[in-house]
Amino acid sequence: MNKMFGLVLLLAASLAPSLLQAAEVRNVNFAVFQKEDPKFEFEAIVEGKFSDFIAAMKGAQLLALAHTANAVDGDVITVQTSVLRDEAGSLGDFGTDCQLSFKDESVGTDYSYLLGGLCKIIRVGRGMNQRILTVIPHTNIPDTTQGFEGWFLLEEDEKDGVAYYANVSEGSHQ
């Protein structure tokens, strides 16, 4: 039994590098913001480098930020940030929980990437009881290696003032 398991591991290890080389790998960058200033408006596209993007969000607070290295077609990216605390005998929960599906629909040098999924924002405790569930439809996201530096708005929950942004950058090849 142990020899069979070892053989399966050896076979998987020998195939893994060739499978990774066959796929284009990309870094997926994802951010979640919530408005602090009710007059602030999220833009559909925020041009510029990361520092420009953060500066453009001066009327909102950052809830989650993720850089997922070496994503390939079909990956599910999870972004989870949470603070749990005892609130006088009951549990308080402040956090973000997202499951995102990454799709690579590129053909040759015509690059096309999609990102979509489900996100929950939870703020329960300290007098708050906010639960936001957002479905993010698969949305085209830019590849910064194609000459466009910027972030695309995937989805906005206008009622609760939450926005989801993403872009793609070149990953390292295995």
Reported as a single tens digit per residue, the pLDDT across 118-168 is 999 988 887 888 889 999 999 999 888 888 889 999 999 999 999 999 999
Query: What CA–CA distance (Å, rounded) separates 60 from 37?
Result: 7
Q: Which residues are CB-contacts of 38 (< 8 A; sequence separation ≥ 6)?
A: 161
pLDDT value of position 14: 40
User: What is this structure's pTM?
Assistant: 0.80
Q: For residue range 23-69, what is the model confidence (pLDDT) as tens digits?
A: 578 899 999 999 999 999 999 999 999 999 999 999 999 999 999 99
Query: What CA–CA distance (Å, rounded) separates 53 from 56?
Result: 5
pLDDT value of position 29: 95
CB atoms within 10 A of CB 2: 6
Query: Higher model confidence: residue 22 or residue 159?
Result: 159
pLDDT value of position 172: 62
Q: Which residues are CB-contacts of 50 (< 8 A; sequence separation ≥ 6)?
A: 29
In this predicted structure, which of 53-62, 66-75, 85-94 has the lowest mean pLDDT? 85-94
The yes-or-no verdict on residue 102 having pLDDT over 60 is: yes
Query: Higher model confidence: residue 15 or residue 102?
Result: 102
Confidence of residue 18 (pLDDT cuts 50, 70, 90): very low
The yes-or-no verdict on residue 5 having pLDDT over 90 is: no
Tokens of 79: 């972004």
